[in-house]
Chain A
Amino acid sequence: MRFWRRSAEEPEEPEEPEAPQEALEPRAAPAEGWFGRLKAGLAKSSARLNEGLNRIFTRRRLDEAALSELEELLIASDMGVRVAEEVAASLRRTRFNQEVAPEEVRAALAAEVARLVEPVSRPLVIDRERRPFVILVVGVNGSGKTTTIAKLARHYRDEGRRVVLAAGDTFRAAAVEQLEIWGARTGCPVIARGEGADAAGLAYDALLEAQKEGADILLIDTAGRLHNKAALMGELQKIVRVLKKLDAAAPHSVLLVLDATTGQNAHAQAEAFREMVGVTGIVMTKLDGTAKGGVLVSLAEKYGIPIHALGVGESAEDLRPFEAQSFAQNLVGLEP
C-alpha cells in the first residue's frame, strides 16, 4: 500500500520550471510575500492599461472623447462592452468636464472595480467538519486545472493537512503522469487508473480510499472539456452523482479554473459549468502574462460566483488569494 507512505525522500523540487519567473522579475523578495508576487504578476497586466491612462489623462479635461477612450481601454482589459460603459458612465456622472489627473481617474476606476468584485472576493474555506473535504476541479481544456491542483496541494500540505489527489483526467494522453509527478513533488499520494478509465468510477474509489485513510482534503482533477459539449458535461454530472453516494454533501467545493487570456467566452463557461455542476468558486490562471482578467469584473456582476484565487506563475507557490482592493488597484496601476 503506497497510500500514506509520506515519502521520506521528499524531492526537493526536481528542476522546478521556476527559472523563468525568477528571470522575469528579479524583485519579489520572499519578504514581500504573496502580495509582492501577485503584484509582480499583475504588473504586466496593468502596464498597458497604465500607459494608456497616462496618455489619455495627463493634463486633460474629462470630455466625451476622453471618456470614450477610457471606455475602450477598459474593453481592452476584457471587461466587456457593457461593464466598461457602466464604469465610464459613473465617471461621467461625477467628474464630467473637470480637469482630472491620471491618479484621480485611476483611483475612481479602482474604486469602481473593487466595488464590483468585493462581494465575490471570498477565500476557499475548508470546513474541518467535513473530512475529507472534497474539491472537484473543472474547466475547459488547457485552462490550468492540473497545475492549479498542484498549487492547492502544496498550499494545504504546507498547512500540515493530509491531501490526496485523484487523477480524474483519464482522457488526455499522459495527464495521469502529469499529476503523478506533481504528487511526488508536493508529497501527496495520487489515486490513478489507466487512461480511458471511467472518471466517475475513479472519483468514487478515490473518495472511498481518502475516507478510509482519514485524509483531510481530496482534490479531484477532471479532463478538460468544452462547456458546450453536452455529453462531456453529462460525464461531469455523473462524477458529482457518484460522489454523493459516499457523502451526500460532496463535492464540498467545485472549482472552475478560468484562463485569463480567455475573452468574453468566460461567461459562457461560467454559466454552463455553474448550471451543470454547481460551481462554488473560481480560480483564474495565467495572470502573469499581459492578459488583464478584466472579465472577472463582469463575471462578478453577472453571476456572483466567489473568486478564490489567482494563478500568477507555473510553480507550486504561484497561487494567491483573491483580494478585491489589491486586484482593482493593481489592475489600474495604483500602489496599494
Chain B
Amino acid sequence: MFDTLTTRLGDVFDRLRRRGVLSEGDVAAALREIRVALLEADVALPVVRDFMAAVREEAVGENVLRSVTPAQMVVKIVHDHLAAILRGAESEANAEGLDLNAVPPVAVLLLGLQGSGKTTTAAKLAKRLKERERKKVLLVSLDVQRPAAQQQLAVLGRQIGVPFLAVRPGEKPVEIARRALASGKSEGCDVVLLDTAGRLHVNEEMMLEAAAVRAAVNPHQSLLVADAMTGQDAVNLAKAFSERVGLSGIILTRVDGDARGGAALSLRAITGKPIVFMGTGERVDALEPFHAERIAGRILGMGDVVSLVEKAAETVEREDAEKLTRKLESGRFDLDDLSSQLRQLRRMGGMGNMLSLLPGVGKIKKQLSEANIDEKILKRQEAIISSMTGAERKNPKLLNGSRRRRIAAGSGTSVPEVNRLMKQYQDMAQMMKQMKKLGPKGFARHGLPGLFPGGAPRH
C-alpha cells in the first residue's frame, strides 16, 4: 500500500529540491501535483480539499520561501499535515492498539460493507487478543445473511483455537448478540467478538439492525472494517456508519495489495476515529497495529525503520540469535547457519516486505519489483541446503562439481543456482570474519538485514 503515492510525492519533492530558491509559483505548481497525486491515490475529495487548504496556507508563507531550505520546509509541512490526519487528535500512545479497559466480558463489534473482510479480521483479531494479550475470547457470528458465513467463522475459530458461539437456526442477530454476552459472562470470557453481516450503508433495514445490536450489547469497541482499496465512496460509508451506528475505530484490510491507500486518510479524517489495525495478508496472523507517524513516514518515502527493527526482534528467535552470536565468536559460519538465516528472512515476510520499511527505497523497490524478484528464491535456497549432507553443510569446501550436480538434482534446482548460493555464502562468511573483528555486540539483534551483501538475493 501507498507505494505509488510515495513515488508520486517523491517525484514532486525531488523537483522542488532541485531548485535552490523557490518562487510562489513553484510551490503552487508542486501543490497542484500533490493534489492530483492524492486524488489518484483515492483520497476522498473533501479530505483533499481540506488538506490542500491547510498545507497551502503554511507553504506559501514568506518564512518558507525565505528559509535556507525551502523545499525541505514544504516537504516537512506536507509530512506534518499527513501525519496529523492519520494521527488525529489523540496522542500517538493512545491511538495504538485496542483499548479493552472495561468490565469483562468486553463486547467488540465489527461492522462494514460486504466483502470488506470482517470475518477474516474477526479471526485475526481473536488470535491476536488470545496470544498477545492472553485474553479469553468468544467468537460470535451475527451474519445470518450470507450463505455459510457462520460456518466460515466457526471453521476459523477451530483453526486458531478460539471458542465459537454455537449457532441456533432462525435466531435473529440481536438475540444472538444478547445470548453471546450472557454466555461470555458465564464462561468468564474477557472479550466477546461480534462479527456482523456485511451491509451497504444505504440499506435502511440493515443499518437499523446494526444500531439495534449496538444498543443491545453496548460494545466497548465498534470497529469499521474497510478495504484499503476503497475509492471515493469511503466518504459515504464512513459518514453513514459513524452517524447511524457509531464507531470507535477502524481496521483497514488488504493493506498488502498495491492500493495507493487514500482510503486510510479519508476514513481517518471523516470519522475522526483512529485506525487501530491493518490486515496485511491472508494468514490468520497477518494483522498489525497501525502506527500513524510511521505510516506517514512511509508515504513520504522516509521509511519505517522502527517497524523493521521490531519485526526483526519479534521474528528472530532469541535462541537462534544467541547461537549465531556464539558461532560468530568462534569465527565459524556454516551452511546450517545460512539456512536458519534464510528461514528467518522468510518469516519476516520476504524481501519485498522488509524493503518497504527501509527509508528512501521507494524507487529502488519499484525497480526491484519490475525486476521481479521471486520470493520463492528463499525457499529454493533452503531446499538446496537441505539437499546437502551434514558433512557438506559443516564443511562447504567439500562441494565439488559432482556433489553440486547431485544437490541440484536433489533440490529440483540447477547447478548455477547452487553455485550462486555458494558465492553468496562465501561473501557472507567473509563479512562474518570482518564482523568478528568489530565484536558481536548488538549484532545478533540488529545485524540480520545486513547479512545480505549487495541487497537482495538475485536469481
Task: Judge: A and B partners, yes or no.
Answer: yes
Chain A contacts to B: CB under 8 angstroms: 17, 19-20, 23-24, 44, 48, 72, 75-78, 80-81, 140-144, 171-175, 177-178, 180-182, 195, 226-231, 259-266, 268, 286, 288-292, 295, 314
Does B375 belong to the interface (CB within 8 Å)? yes
* CB-defined contacts of A286 to chain B, threshold 8 Å: 113-115, 200
Q: How far is the CA of A78 from the CA of B39 in the complex (A)?
A: 9
* CB-defined contacts of A229 to chain B, threshold 8 Å: 256
The answer to whether A20 touches B159 (Cβ under 8 A) is no
The answer to whether A261 touches B233 (Cβ under 8 A) is yes
The 8 closest A-B pairs by CB, nearest first: A263-B231, A142-B115, A263-B42, A174-B152, A181-B147, A173-B155, A177-B148, A178-B148
Q: Select from chain A the residue with minimum beta-carbon distance to B235.
A: A76
Q: Closest CB-CB distance, A270 to chain B, in whole Å?
A: 13
The answer to whether A265 touches B258 (Cβ under 8 A) is yes
Chain B contacts to A: CB under 8 angstroms: 36, 39-42, 44-45, 113-117, 120, 145-149, 151-156, 159, 199-206, 227, 229-234, 236-237, 254, 256-260, 262-263, 282, 372, 374-376
Q: How far is the CA of A289 from the CA of B231 in the complex (A)?
A: 13
* CB-defined contacts of B113 to chain A, threshold 8 Å: 261, 286, 289
Given contacts A17-B145, A290-B236, contact A142 B117 (CB under 8 A): yes
The answer to whether A263 touches B229 (Cβ under 8 A) is yes
The answer to whether B231 touches A264 (Cβ under 8 A) is yes
- DSSP class of B's interface residues: helix, strand, loop or mixed? loop
Q: Closest CB-CB distance, A129 to chain B, in whole Å?
A: 34
* CB-defined contacts of B254 to chain A, threshold 8 Å: 140-141, 226
Pick the residue among B151, B227, B372 that contacts A262 (CB under 8 A): B227
Q: Closest CB-CB distance, B200 to chain A, in whole Å?
A: 4
**Could you list 28 examples of A-B contacts with CB < 8 Å?**
A20-B203, A24-B202, A24-B203, A24-B204, A77-B232, A78-B231, A80-B40, A140-B229, A140-B257, A142-B116, A142-B227, A144-B115, A173-B159, A174-B155, A177-B151, A181-B147, A228-B256, A228-B257, A230-B372, A231-B375, A261-B227, A261-B233, A263-B262, A268-B258, A291-B236, A292-B233, A295-B231, A314-B114
Given contacts A231-B375, A289-B113, contact A75 B45 (CB under 8 A): yes
* CB-defined contacts of A292 to chain B, threshold 8 Å: 232-233
Given contacts A78-B231, A174-B148, A261-B227, contact A19 B205 (CB under 8 A): yes
* CB-defined contacts of B376 to chain A, threshold 8 Å: 231
Q: How far is the CA of A288 from the CA of B39 in the complex (A)?
A: 24
Q: Select from chain B the residue with minimum beta-carbon distance to A146.
A: B147
With a 10 A CB-CB cut-off, give which of B41, B203, B234, B254 has the most chain A CB atoms. B203
Q: How far is the CA of A143 from the CA of B41 in the complex (A)?
A: 19
With a 10 A CB-CB cut-off, give which of B114, B154, B159 has the most chain A CB atoms. B114
Given contacts A23-B204, A80-B40, A265-B42, contact A174 B259 (CB under 8 A): no
The answer to whether B116 touches A263 (Cβ under 8 A) is no
Given contacts A24-B204, A75-B45, A286-B113, contact A261 B36 (CB under 8 A): no
Q: How far is the CA of A226 from the CA of B40 in the complex (A)?
A: 19
Q: How far is the CA of A181 from the CA of B39 in the complex (A)?
A: 41
* CB-defined contacts of B375 to chain A, threshold 8 Å: 230-231
* CB-defined contacts of A78 to chain B, threshold 8 Å: 42, 231-233
The answer to whether B145 touches A314 (Cβ under 8 A) is yes
Pick the residue among A173, A178, A261 that contacts B237 (CB under 8 A): A261
Q: How far is the CA of A143 from the CA of B117 in the complex (A)?
A: 10
Q: Select from chain A the residue with minimum beta-carbon distance to B236.
A: A290
Q: Closest CB-CB distance, A313 to chain B, in whole Å?
A: 9
Q: Select from chain B the residue with minimum beta-carbon distance to A263.
A: B231
* CB-defined contacts of B44 to chain A, threshold 8 Å: 76
Given contacts A20-B206, A76-B232, A172-B152, contact A178 B200 (CB under 8 A): no
Q: How far is the CA of A72 from the CA of B149 in the complex (A)?
A: 39
Q: How far is the CA of A259 from the CA of B146 in the complex (A)?
A: 17
The answer to whether B45 touches A72 (Cβ under 8 A) is yes
Q: How far is the CA of A269 from the CA of B152 in the complex (A)?
A: 26
Q: Select from chain A the residue with minimum beta-carbon distance to B49.
A: A72
Q: Select from chain B the residue with minimum beta-carbon distance to A145.
A: B115
Q: How far is the CA of A24 from the CA of B263 in the complex (A)?
A: 27
The answer to whether A265 touches B260 (Cβ under 8 A) is yes
Q: Closest CB-CB distance, A275 to chain B, in whole Å?
A: 13
The answer to whether A230 touches B374 (Cβ under 8 A) is yes
11 further A-B contacts with Cβ under 8 Å, apart from A289-B233, A291-B236, are: A24-B202, A172-B120, A172-B152, A174-B148, A174-B152, A177-B148, A181-B147, A195-B155, A268-B258, A286-B113, A286-B115
The answer to whether B205 touches A24 (Cβ under 8 A) is yes
* CB-defined contacts of B114 to chain A, threshold 8 Å: 142, 144, 286, 314
Pick the residue among A19, A144, A177 that contacts B147 (CB under 8 A): A177
The answer to whether B146 touches A261 (Cβ under 8 A) is no
Q: How far is the CA of A314 from the CA of B198 in the complex (A)?
A: 11
* CB-defined contacts of A81 to chain B, threshold 8 Å: 36, 39-40
Q: Closest CB-CB distance, B112 to chain A, in whole Å?
A: 10
Q: How far is the CA of A174 from the CA of B375 in the complex (A)?
A: 29
* CB-defined contacts of A295 to chain B, threshold 8 Å: 231
The answer to whether A23 touches B232 (Cβ under 8 A) is no
* CB-defined contacts of B232 to chain A, threshold 8 Å: 75-78, 263, 291-292
* CB-defined contacts of B45 to chain A, threshold 8 Å: 72, 75-76
Q: How far is the CA of A172 from the CA of B232 in the complex (A)?
A: 28
Q: How far is the CA of A292 from the CA of B232 in the complex (A)?
A: 9
Q: How far is the CA of A229 from the CA of B369 in the complex (A)?
A: 11
Q: Select from chain B the residue with minimum beta-carbon distance to A261.
A: B233
